[in-house]
Chains A and B, each alone.
Chain A
Amino acid sequence: MYNQSLDKGPLKDDGRDQDEDRRIEFEHNVLAGYTVEPKDWMPEGYRKTLIRQMSQHAHSEVIGMLPEGDWILRAPTLKRKAILLAKVQDEGGHGLYLYSATETLGVSRDLLYEDLLHGRAKYSSIFNYPTLSWADVGVIGWLVDGAAIMNQIPLTQCSYGPYARAMVRICKEESFHQRQGFELLNEMMNGSEKQKEMVQNSVNRWWWPTVMMFGPEDKDSVHSKESRTWGIKRVTNDELRQNFIDVTVPQAEILGVDLPDPDIRWNEERGHYDFGEVDWTEFWRVVSGHGPCNRDRIEAKRKAWEEGVWVREAIMAHALNEKVVDRHG
């Protein structure tokens, strides 16, 4: 569903890419718009930065299956159940796609997944908030997937080919997810007072965490020159956040919901909406593992993984049995 900018600058090279000529040529090629492919030479820092960003993105997709998945069994109509099942399945597909793309950088999916389960890897902070009503399914589609698209469209132009191509496909599906969320909420806003309250309550809870999804403000984000030079990150956190708010405020008006920020108002001079101060303390608490659902999310995945050990062992044992049968007729 989403990757979050938690970068603290590209990782330091470990000495493998001291070949300055190759590095200069690499950066020249990226600047000229060439796509980097798995077998191409690349600076070690580039490779490590991508592994971190892409695996965080993959983790976000698979963790993101949980909060919405919690409502599949309670979806209020068969049509909504089908849409939600398909959507959560899409997220799993995105995860698989992104893990595969990350593996092209020479790292195994199992290792990356172990990092997630042991709290060594991060994923988008948004999934550490609970889904408390059916309206949350709509709000996640509308706001969270809306923010994801905003962040992911520039990634379709990312310099690393497998990542960029994955994002093209993912963006198409996210666009559908966003629209179904808006449509779901629109339906509820034309329903009973109780339903409208449910939507407003949901928007009140999800608005600020969504605004935080774009990561720290530019002044606090250690964007390196390299991340841009390498063509991994092309738009800043603040630019993305502003774009998201500019697009979303009119949509909220169409829906008839209030956004819980009294400072939102159109600024004629800037040509953008002004908005209030984000509670960055909350953001860092959630990112550091202290959000309302961090523990539950990891525990759910860890439990599923551990309960699946015997299944994965059985697959290998059966494959071995088959080989023995083949060999001996």
Chain B
Amino acid sequence: MTIAREETYDAHLLSFVLRLADSALIASQRMAEWCGVAPMLEEDIALSNVALDLLGQSRHLFTYASDLEGGSRSEDDFAFLRDPHEYLNYIIAELPNGDFAQSCTKSFLFSSFAKTVWSSLLDANDSRLRDIAAKSLKETNYHVEHFSSWFIRLGDGTDTSRQKILEGLDYVWPYTNEFFDDDSILISLEGVLKMKTNTLWTKWIEGVTNVFASARIDLPSTPDFICSGKYGIHSEHLGHILAEMQYLQRAYPGGRW
């Protein structure tokens, strides 16, 4: 009985770690699409930097996931040799970038959520997660600042930019539902993570409400949207992302890179 309980515990922790790792990796992959074609050179550099931060976070988390499994899979095995249904990222991370307004809106909402998660994990009963959270939180604070300021500037810019932000928000907002809906993993790991969805929601909504006010945009109502990437059921976009990302590893198995 004891052994069975430990196995359940590790499997849930592994799922949670992969959820964070996959979300960071897929968000990084999307962010990297901007490299070289952003609206200005400064933004090419800034968005590449965010992509690098997210990539670094995913690598720390994959390494931890590998250790939890006993080292049978490397970070690259996790990233390049799993199929879409084995990915556990929040769907918002895989949404297409769309225009710059949609990209900024998506990244503002996602990074604000990541900030609440990392902040919460500073108190987790798991030293590896605490260490990763401490490092990631510093980076994520900058991401929130960066994308909040874009959300405000575009929301409070011209009629065109405001319209584009509203359209981006309309598309992206429902996917935030997944951050806070029923979560059996979080419930089972409550003793380890010390994290509750209602607390996450309270902190997240407080942060984003302030930014919405500065952008003079009304907060949309809580969506009724079904969204379950964290359980491996994704949008159609993820398959395309992985087809591109995994191409070399799949085409040349066992290669040296």
Contact = CB atoms under 8 A, between A and B. Distances in A.
- Residue in A62, A88, A188, A318 whose Cβ sees the most chain B Cβ within 10 Å: A318
B32 A77 contact: no
User: Does more than half of chain A's interface fall in helix, strand or loop, or is it mixed?
Assistant: helix
A96 interface: yes
B170 to A, nearest CB: 18
Interface in A64-95: 65-66, 69, 72-82, 85-86, 88-89, 92-93, 95
Given A66-B36, A317-B161, A73 B59 contact: no
A82 B54 CA distance: 10
Given A89-B48, A310-B160, A300 B36 contact: yes
Interface stretch (A155-163, A189-197, A210-218, A264-272): A189-197
A78 B244 contact: no
Interface stretch (B7-15, B38-46, B115-123): B38-46
B129 to A, nearest CB: 20
A300 B29 contact: no
B254 A192 contact: yes
Interface residues of B, number: 48
Given A89-B35, A188-B256, A308-B38, A74 B245 contact: yes
Contacts, number: 145
Interface in B91-114: 99-100
A321 B156 contact: yes
Contact of A73 (B29, B45, B75, B76): B29
Interface in B72-86: 75-76, 79-80
B156 A69 contact: no
Interface of B: 25, 29, 32-33, 35-42, 44-45, 48-49, 51-52, 55-56, 58-59, 62, 75-76, 79-80, 99-100, 152-154, 156-158, 160-161, 164, 244-245, 247-249, 252, 254-257
